[in-house]
A and B are shown apart, each in its own frame.
Chain A
Amino acid sequence: MSVIVKKIAQLISALIFVFGMYSAIHGHIAPGGGFAGGVLLSGAFILLIIAYGLDYFKLKQQTEATSIFESVSILIALLLAFSGLFAGSLYFFNNYLPPGTPGSLLSGGLIPVYNILIGIKVAATLSTIFFALIIYKEEIRR
């Protein structure tokens, strides 16, 4: 890719990344949410990889890191859901944090936390799938 494409992709991907974080964090008060935010986050990385190529990022058969992130975020979400059982009322997915004022960023109890975890999970999963596809293609070429 030419220098123009690389530079523009670099600039744009930063914006996409910030917007993805915004979507995931504001999931409970604005349109978007964890899934949409996660897709945007992985989109930022995918754009960079397309612009710069595999070699620049030294990607080989290593996709362990993304799948570990994926597993860990799901595990934390499960543990949070499970911790609801011990917070007073024996309900799974119990939302035991204070609700806060509706409309402000710190409201909705545990829901923003779940949104962020879903964002990490989706970003990691989509990146894993993308890596699997491009690395597979590289392996075939060899």
Chain B
Amino acid sequence: MDGWIIVLFFVIPLFGAFVMPVTYLFSSDSPKFITPVITFVLLILSLYSFVYQPEQIAYIIGGWKPVGDVPIAIYLVYDGLSGFMLVIINLIAFFSSVYAINYMEEYTGQKYFYVLMCLMIAGMNGVVLAGDLFNLFVFTEIAAKSSYALVAFGVKKDELEASFKYQVLGGMANLIILFGIAMIYWQTQTLNMADISYMLQNVENNIFPVFIQLILITGFGVKAALIPFHAWLPDAHSSAPSPISAMLSGVLIKTLGVYVIMRLFFNVFPVNESVSIVLIALGGLSMIIGVLLAVGAWDLKRMLAYSSISHVGYIIAGLGIGMIMLARGENQFVATLAFTGSLFHLANHAVFKGLLFLNAGAIEYAANTRDMKQMGGLAKFMPITLTSSFSASMSISGLPPFSGFFSKLIIILAAVIAGFYLIAGLAVVAGIITLAYFVKFQKYAFYNKPSVSSSIKEVPNLMRMSMISLAILCLLMSVLILPEIREVFLNPAVNTLMETTDYADKILGR
């Protein structure tokens, strides 16, 4: 694969976003068909590059060669982890954009919806590919700013309030992140991530990187909605239009929060035991408090939003366990296991939480309610929503043939082998409570005595298609556990995390 292909990942959605206002003049229907085409091209491109490019590429924008030892150009880096994230982002983006064609019909100003959605995809793809902190920050902002506008897209009271809260907390997070980046620049005189990694290895004062890491955990913790920083998430994710909720919960919090934490804390900063304990503690807290908040919620989308907090907790706790093993230089097998579990769970969560939000959207579209007490008896009218949401619910609660079981199992196994019995116990308890509230969702939405009128119909075909495909993926993802398939899809990403600061050597070739 040529290096220049990776610029297409953000050039195509940017081009789409700005061509839509022009084509809208000729055909007001054009944006809704351009967006799925764009996301489909991106999906094919990301799968192609993932399968044919196991090696790392560093692409230099503008062709500015390093001067002496100092890299002066903007770097784009494509490696196993970036490729893995790109596949997930563009997969969920494709199904969301197909689903949006019918779902968005009742909204006004549809062209802005598609423009903002393309900008959000461009921002997320850019975050994943950025090789320096400045561009990482700019792309983070592009994705976050478009998501602020998309959350408020319904322009009713709740949506505006949620968006305002999201903007205030997101703005504070950006300030903290910028402060952290400024501190890094002050200490290392560079913004290139590979170069920073070199400089930090030579810093004598060991406490300084740890201090910056704590600042960055605060900033990116808000983006990832870890538990003390989660206040914006339940409002924002439940108020957005459903395809956007699926994108926000499925991929945005993972790209802007979890991915950046992975990239910075493993490949840029030297791995550090005290930081990993912070990650494990935050992960464990998010896991258990997230489910406790979710179990009492009666608003369907709010329940799903709380559940996202708990699942990000699983991912972060797994990362922390792997990191502590790497930092102590102990059992490397456990670190591999923990990273495999985390990344596997990240992919699974994107698929099943995306699907659950699409199901919630389908119920809202057909029955016009989000309150689980007002649903009931939908099984008779909406068989496809029933089956696909059953598949997603069982997968998220971790029942054996579905993908969620395997990823949770790997994380729990890693925690037990590494000696974190409390985290393992919390993960099991959180899994059981997750099962409880998804059974509640199934019962109140589909099987209770009917409280809705009998004029409800199943949703249109394109919405069905997205839901069915994601439901099949929920089952199909469990083959990732097989060694041959794991080798292609998960191992490149796990290796990127395992090789820590070799990342810098490969990019700068020193």
With A78-B11, A78-B15 given, is the CB distance from A94 to B21 under 8 Å? no
- B61–A91 touching, CB < 8 Å: yes
- A75–B18 touching, CB < 8 Å: yes
Closest partner residue, chain B, to A86 (CB atom) = B4
- A94–B62 touching, CB < 8 Å: yes
- B18–A92 touching, CB < 8 Å: no
* Set A71, A81, A82, A85: member contacting B22, Cβ < 8 A: A71
- A75–B15 touching, CB < 8 Å: yes
Render B1-37 as a binary contact track against A, CB cut-off 8 A, 1 for contact.
0111001000100110011111001000000000000
Q: What is the predominant secondary structure among interface residues of chain B facing chain A? A: helix
* Set A71, A82, A85, A95: member contacting B18, Cβ < 8 A: A71
With A89-B63, A90-B3 given, is the CB distance from A74 to B21 under 8 Å? no
**CA separation between A42 and B204, bound complex, in Å?**
51
User: Size band of the A side of the interface?
Assistant: 20 to 34
At the interface, yes or no: A45 with Cβ under 8 Å from chain B?
no
Report chain A residues within 8 Å CB of B2.
Answer: 90
Report chain A residues within 8 Å CB of B15.
Answer: 75, 78
At the interface, yes or no: A19 with Cβ under 8 Å from chain B?
no
Closest partner residue, chain A, to B22 (CB atom) = A71
- B18–A93 touching, CB < 8 Å: no
With A85-B4, A93-B62 given, is the CB distance from A72 to B22 under 8 Å? yes
**CA separation between A67 and B111, bound complex, in Å?**
12
At the interface, yes or no: B481 with Cβ under 8 Å from chain A?
no
At the interface, yes or no: A68 with Cβ under 8 Å from chain B?
yes
Q: What is the predominant secondary structure among interface residues of chain A facing chain B? A: helix
**CA separation between A78 and B7, bound complex, in Å?**
11
**CA separation between A75 and B14, bound complex, in Å?**
9
Closest partner residue, chain B, to A77 (CB atom) = B18
Report chain A residues within 8 Å CB of B61.
Answer: 91-93
At the interface, yes or no: B183 with Cβ under 8 Å from chain A?
no
* B23 CB to nearest chain A CB (Å): 10
Q: Which residues in B have some Cβ–Cβ distance to A below 8 Å?
A: 2-4, 7, 11, 14-15, 18-22, 25, 59-63
A-B contact pairs, 21 of them (CB 8 A): A68-B21, A68-B25, A71-B18, A71-B19, A75-B15, A75-B18, A78-B18, A82-B11, A85-B4, A85-B7, A90-B2, A90-B4, A91-B4, A91-B60, A91-B62, A92-B11, A92-B62, A93-B61, A93-B62, A94-B62, A95-B62
* Given A68-B22, A91-B60, 7 more pairs with CB closer than 8 A: A71-B19, A72-B18, A78-B14, A85-B4, A92-B62, A93-B62, A94-B63
